[in-house]
A and B are shown apart, each in its own frame.
Chain A
Amino acid sequence: MSTPIILVDNLTKRFGDFTAVDHVSFEVQPGEIFAFLGPNGAGKTTTISMLVTLMRPTEGRALLAGHDVVREQGAVRRSIGIVFQEPSLDDRLTALENLEFHAVLYGLSAAERRRRIPQVLEMVQLADRANDLVERFSGGMKRRLEIARGLLHTPRVLFLDEPTIGLDPQTRRHMWDYILGLREREGITIFMTTHYMEEAEFADRVAIMDHGRIAALDTPEALKRQVGGDVITVRTTDMEKDAACIEEQFGVKVQRYKDELRFEVENGEVFIPRFVREFPGTILTISLRRPTLDDVFLKLTGRTIRDAELDEKDLQRYRLRSRVVRPRR
């Protein structure tokens, strides 16, 4: 293995009593697409904030392209590009002006700017909109422009924090074409966070994060193999009794989730007819599917990403009650 481009060792961030990131360790290889998958509030953004030098770790250390994120901020900042979760463009400036602003902040010479700006605009297909004010752009266009900006100073690692949040499915797919093409063309390392499991599938390796910890870290295929075979979901008339019955009769581990029973079997297509024949209770519905990363998450944490998200929303709603809602421009 080559030297990792990102090395994280026992990274921890505490806010008072609350531990947002709890002794996280991992490595990312050059050219890899590495994803953090987990619900909002799992500590993904906090981890990124520490890696991009916006937050100081409480404990542990992280090296980016060989530079310490606390002691060598300048060197780290020059080697990374970032697309934040929230928009960070100046929409009173044109696309070109936004890129120029960035280029100057990153110390690109006038010659480099002239060469590189049209290049990145072309890459995200915004060359014809270069002189339009960003406030006239759609959400997808703004995102693309942010990616172009993140690449402008030819960083070695591009951080994408929830890059497709708030985008429609079609735009989201387009974004992914860009991101995958980007790796091909620029050979760049991509570090991303997402709470869409379908998106994490695009990554070479996925770290599943929950409550500030990495619950599992592997390729998407290997993670799904952990689930073991196919996922069967049944609804029956008497969940309590039937759960125990299925475990006993078919030798599987049943997980009760809301009004469904879930379990994993090898060869699901063959299992279903046998199950229907031999199961003594009343089956209301039955379904079979290949495992997804959400199943992996469920297996590891006992809840789905969506659930974890809802918990978090309740918490946020609670926090909001005591605060005035911010006006939007």
Chain B
Amino acid sequence: MWHTLQTVYIIWKRDVKRWWRDKPRIIGALTFPVIFLVVFGNGLSGAMGPLVQPQAASALPVGAGAVDYKQFIFPGIIAMNVFFASIFGGISVVFDREFGILKEVLVAPISRGVVALGKTLGGASVATVQGTLVLLIAPLAGVKLTLGMVVRLWPLMFLGAFAMTSMGVALGSRMRSVEGFQAINQFIAFPMIFLSGAFFPLRNLPAWMEFIVKVNPASYAVDPLRRVVLEAQGMPPAILDRLAEFGLGLELFGRQLTIWHNVLIVVSFGILMNVLAMYLFSRQD
């Protein structure tokens, strides 16, 4: 048991150290969100105007709970950073294979499932930190940071990261070359994050698109982040409960999802993916 825990820890530590020593990756994790926020945020917020029309919510003072597009995509950008770091962390199994380190791990007298778990936790931790980095640019988005918000974001980021890193490890275990990484990015990662509601309100969507958004597990990782951020901006509870009406919240079977619903879905998906990752990782030669 002690050996198992130590193994998970050392594999986790390796991935965290490799990340810390890879400065270009850290800088990239900071600049991409800035570009996104500055270009898309500013480019689109003027055209879109306030996303919540307070007069629509009766019995509320005009102006209360106004959200502009920059504030709207801010949690989306956090999710994006977490998401890409997670996929990369999981897929890094392929790089480990390419550069030979994987062999050293595969002949060690340890269970491969444990290795996969360590790898997932390492990738998820790095992804959570990369998501946290986005908080540094909150002022650019006009989002005010509160301690409560940050403390609530962390576990949500980590759960999403755990699920997506597990998916990455599962994919990586089946890949034989690093070229496949690009394909995964284009055919799985980008569509998943773009169709998760991270970047546009889920209002008046074509039916097929709404369907994809709702079957996309990433959507349920984005939704709670947005809810926490909006709540911390002083949005009145009356509006928070009706976010789905403005396209700012997810609705399933006619009911707006709470944070706990989202957590349940993300954790279920995460466990499923992690079991799959352990299985696929154990079965490789």
* Interface residues of A, Cβ cutoff 8 Å to B: 52-55, 73-74, 77-78, 80, 82, 84, 86-93, 97, 100-102, 104-107, 133, 149, 324, 326-327, 329
Contacts and interface: CB of A to CB of B under 8 A. Distances in A.
Contact of A105 (B10, B99, B103, B178): B10
Nearest to A73: B109
Nearest to B20: A92
A84 B105 CA distance: 12
A90 B105 CA distance: 11
Given A54-B107, A88-B103, 5 more contacts: A77-B107, A86-B100, A92-B22, A101-B10, A327-B178
17 contacts: A53-B107, A73-B109, A74-B109, A77-B107, A78-B109, A82-B107, A91-B99, A92-B22, A93-B17, A102-B104, A104-B10, A105-B109, A106-B109, A107-B3, A107-B109, A326-B98, A326-B178
Contacts of A102: 104, 108
B7 A104 contact: yes
A329 B99 contact: yes
B138 interface: no
Given A52-B107, A105-B10, A105-B110, A89 B3 contact: no
A84 B100 contact: yes
Contacts of A149: 104
B101 A90 contact: yes
Contacts of A86: 100, 103
A16 B103 CA distance: 23
A55 B108 contact: no
B178 A55 contact: no
Contacts of B106: 54
B100 A89 contact: yes
Given A77-B108, A104-B10, A106-B108, A88 B100 contact: yes
A182 B9 CA distance: 32
A6 B168 CA distance: 39
Interface of B is mostly: helix
B285 A105 contact: no
Contacts of A88: 100-101, 103-104
A168 B148 CA distance: 61
A82 B106 CA distance: 12
Interface string B6-31: 11011000100110011000000000
Interface of A is mostly: loop
Contacts of A89: 100-101, 104
Interface residues of B, number: 26
A147 to B, nearest CB: 13
Nearest to A324: B179
A93 B14 contact: yes
B179 A54 contact: no
A90 B18 contact: yes
Interface of B: 3, 6-7, 9-10, 14, 17-18, 21-22, 98-101, 103-110, 177-179, 285
Nearest to B285: A55
A253 to B, nearest CB: 44
A92 B17 contact: yes
A115 B120 CA distance: 31
Contacts of A327: 178
Which 3 residue pairs of A and B lie closest in terms of their CB atoms, listed nearest first?
Answer: A88-B100, A105-B108, A77-B109
Nearest to A329: B99
A78 B3 CA distance: 14
Nearest to B18: A92
Contact of A97 (B17, B98, B105, B109): B17
Nearest to A54: B107
Contacts of A106: 108-109
B7 A105 contact: yes
Contacts of B109: 73-74, 77-78, 105-107
Nearest to B96: A90
Contact of A104 (B6, B103, B178): B6
A130 to B, nearest CB: 16
A326 B177 contact: yes
Nearest to A133: B21
A89 B103 CA distance: 10
A74 B110 CA distance: 7
A105 B14 CA distance: 12
Contacts of A87: 99-100
A105 B177 CA distance: 25
Given A105-B105, A329-B99, A100 B10 contact: yes
A73 B108 CA distance: 10
Contacts of B107: 52-54, 77, 80, 82
B173 to A, nearest CB: 15
Nearest to A104: B10
B101 to A, nearest CB: 5
Contacts of B18: 90, 92-93
Nearest to A135: B21
Contacts of B108: 77, 102, 105-106
A14 to B, nearest CB: 14
Contacts of B99: 87, 90-91, 329
Nearest to B99: A329
A82 B104 CA distance: 8
Contacts of A77: 107-109
B271 to A, nearest CB: 25
Contacts of A326: 98, 177-179
Nearest to B9: A104
Contacts of B98: 326
A100 B106 CA distance: 16
A131 to B, nearest CB: 13
A87 to B, nearest CB: 5
